[in-house]
């Protein structure tokens, strides 16, 4: 890990220095379900090569098939303004037919996203195409989400607000995925009242964000058909190397404190954050940024880095 003194003054730091950790790769056929259960019990992420192997979705859900059957469904679409203070903060920019979304994003390369599309609610019959092994977690059928993006789009660094355990399968296209453990939050300059970080992981600026030099994460490529296990509270950034889509199933965390945090996030912190954005848009955002910097400063102080 580079020290602050090694990198200060330049402001630049190789992005690769942030990702020294090797993500474990397991195969349920080779290593047994017990291997995955162990990662779940230890709250450690892992890449599973064959978690979804028995799911007809992997073959059946071609873009052509989905467009032909569900192209007339109205979907909400998002862009980068989702995370920016202002009118579209935490909300969609428009609604359009699924067929138009596919043409505009995957066909024309417009950086428009469709995420958290609830398949369980919107097209429940698709759930029949998902077959997963019993790994000791109860997946909620009500919260099965799909995520679509075009080549080059990025889902920025965040963790899931409900604090559930997530298994994300890439159905089409590869993603570069970056992960950080929950204890890295101060080094990632988490904005209070949110589950977001705004640090630039591609070009880390250590002058603006000195604590970032302490962050240690994983970086991996998720291939189509592979699944990522993200324990509750794990930070993740997804970058689409190809146009495509993926699917997440989730289960509530076995840890009581995670479940309570999830409820507080959803019922208290997020509404306050939206209210702050509504009434004091830029001042609220700047206040959160300052708080994240103050928190990072005391984190470094505690570690004797100042």
Ligand X SMILES: O=C(O)CCC(=O)C(=O)O
**What does the binding site for ligand X look like in residue numbers (CB under 6 A)?**
115, 147, 149, 155, 160, 166, 168, 236, 238, 246, 248
Q: How far is the CB of 145 from ligand X (least distance, A)?
A: 7
* Spatial contact of 300 and 4, defined as CB atoms under 8 Å apart: yes
Give least dist CB 119 to ligand X, A: 13
Smaller CB separation from ligand X, 162 or 273:
162
Nearer CB in complex with ligand X: 243/277: 243
Name which of 168 and 172 has its Cβ closer to ligand X.
Answer: 168
For residue 88, the minimal CB distance to ligand X (Å) is 17
Nearer to ligand X, 13 or 106 (CB): 106
CB of 15 to ligand X, least distance (A): 19
- Identity of the residue, 175 or 284, whose beta carbon is nearer to ligand X in the bound complex: 175
Q: Write down the least CB distance from residue 243 to ligand X, Å.
A: 12
């Amino acid at each position: 890990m580079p020290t602050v003194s090694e990198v200060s003054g330049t402001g630049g730091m190789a992005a690769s220095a942030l990702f020294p950790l090797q993500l474990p790769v397991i195969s349920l056929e080779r290593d047994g379900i017990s291997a995955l259960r162990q990662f779940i019990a230890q709250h450690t992420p892992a890449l599973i090569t064959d978690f979804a192997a028995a799911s007809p979705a992997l073959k059946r859900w071609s873009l052509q098939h989905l467009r032909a059957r569900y192209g007339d469904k109205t979907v909400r679409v998002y862009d980068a303004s989702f995370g920016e203070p202002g009118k579209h903060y935490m909300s969609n920019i428009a609604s359009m037919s699924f067929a138009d979304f596919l043409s505009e994003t995957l066909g024309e390369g417009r950086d428009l996203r469709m995420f958290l599309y609830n398949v369980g609610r919107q097209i429940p019959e698709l759930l029949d195409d998902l077959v997963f092994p019993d790994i000791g977690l109860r997946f909620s059928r009500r919260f099965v989400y799909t995520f679509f993006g075009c080549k080059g789009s990025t889902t920025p660094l965040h963790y899931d607000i409900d604090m559930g355990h997530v298994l994300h399968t890439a159905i089409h296209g590869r993603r570069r995925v970056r992960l950080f453990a929950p204890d890295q939050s101060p080094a990632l300059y988490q904005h209070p009242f949110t589950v977001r970080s705004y640090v630039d992981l591609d070009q880390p600026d250590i002058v603006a964000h000195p604590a970032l030099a302490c962050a240690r994460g994983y970086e991996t490529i998720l291939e189509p058909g592979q699944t990522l296990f993200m324990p509750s509270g794990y930070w993740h950034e997804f970058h689409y190397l190809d146009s495509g889509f993926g699917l997440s199933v989730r289960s509530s965390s076995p840890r009581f404190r995670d479940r309570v945090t999830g409820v507080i996030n959803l019922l208290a912190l997020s509404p306050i954050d939206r209210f702050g954005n509504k009434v004091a848009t830029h001042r609220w955002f700047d206040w959160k940024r300052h708080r994240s910097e103050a928190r990072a400063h005391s984190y470094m102080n505690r570690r004797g880095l100042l």
